[in-house]
Structure formats: C-alpha cells, structure tokens
Amino acid sequence: MQNNDLNLLKELRLKLTPQRLAIIEYLKGNKNHPSAEEIYNALKDRFPSMSFATVYNTLEVLVEKGLIKELSIDSSKKRFDPYTHPHHHFICKACGKIVDVEASFEIFIPESLRDFQVEDFQVVFTGVCPECKKE
C-alpha cells in the first residue's frame, strides 16, 4: 500500500467505515503477515461491535482490489501482506513466522508451460527460524 492510500481507496469506491480504516491502518507497514484472526483480535477492543466476518470480508475486498496480497504458504490459515511488490518468503515450521526474502531469483519458464500465461511465481523457504532453533 502506498502513501496516497486514501485517494486510492476513494477511487476504488471502497466504503470507508472506521472499522475498514482501522484494518487498513493495522496492515500498513506490517511485516508480520498477520492472519484474519490476528487482525480481528488486535482490533476487537476498539470496535466491540465488529464481527470476524467484517474483518474477513474487508481483507477479501482489499485483495480483490490489489491493495494487499493473500499468502497461502501457511497451510493452517491465510496470511495477508500489505507489500504487493514481487518478493519471496521464509516460513518457520515451528512458530509459523513468515519473513520477507527480498532477492531476485533467475527462473526460466519451463517448456511445459509454453502455452500458459505465467503471471507470477514465488520462492518459499521453509525451516526453523533462529529463535526456534535455540530451543
């Protein structure tokens, strides 16, 4: 998400309820790749009437509008990333932490995909993070 968020959101005709703005604020600059549950838990005290469905639906809309990315590398739950530029990830199999990997990998589109329109690829490293390794 960029600085001109508000203008962009207006252009996209997103209804800017306080709850939606809070979700967007929470995600902005957030490098933890939170799940919908985490976002809901972080905001529910401020918005006691907000339901989990509201959080989930807002995230779906933001993904659909291309403002955030949905990550499916955690098999237990979807995770969300406000950084939409091409980058890669490491996921810790012990604690579930997802860390950005800012590197470019030279990938050649295999011959078997020649008739496909390839739009994206992602390198996912899996293993154990330094904190979990200590234990």
Distances (CA, A) of 101 to 17, 37, 70, 88: 33, 24, 16, 5
The label of the residue with tokens 């600085």 reads: 3
Give the tokens for residue 43.
């905001």
Length of the chain, please? Answer: 135
Sign (positive or negative) of CA dihedral 60, 66, 68, 72? positive
**Which one, 34 or 81, has the nearer CB to Mn ion?**
81
Binds Zn ion by CB under 5 A, chosen from 21, 61, 63, 129: 129
- Burial of 128 from C-beta contacts in 10 A (0-12 / 13-18 / 19+): middle
Among Zn ion, Mn ion, none, the one that 94 touches (CB under a kind-dependent 5 to 8 A) is Zn ion
Output the smallest distance, CB 81 to Mn ion, in A.
Answer: 4
Decide: is 61 part of the binding site for Zn ion (CB under 5 A): no
| Minimum distance from residue 46 beta carbon to Mn ion (Å) | 25
Q: Which of 7, 100, 121, 133 binds Mn ion (CB under 5 A)?
A: 100
Q: Is 94 in the site for Zn ion (CB under 5 A)?
A: yes
| 91 contributes a contact to Zn ion by CB under 5 A | no
Among 50, 81, 91, 92, binds Mn ion (CB under 5 A): 81
Nearby residues of 54 by Cβ (< 8 Å), 6 or more positions away: 19
- Note the residues at the interface with Zn ion (CB under 5 A): 92, 94-95, 97, 129, 132
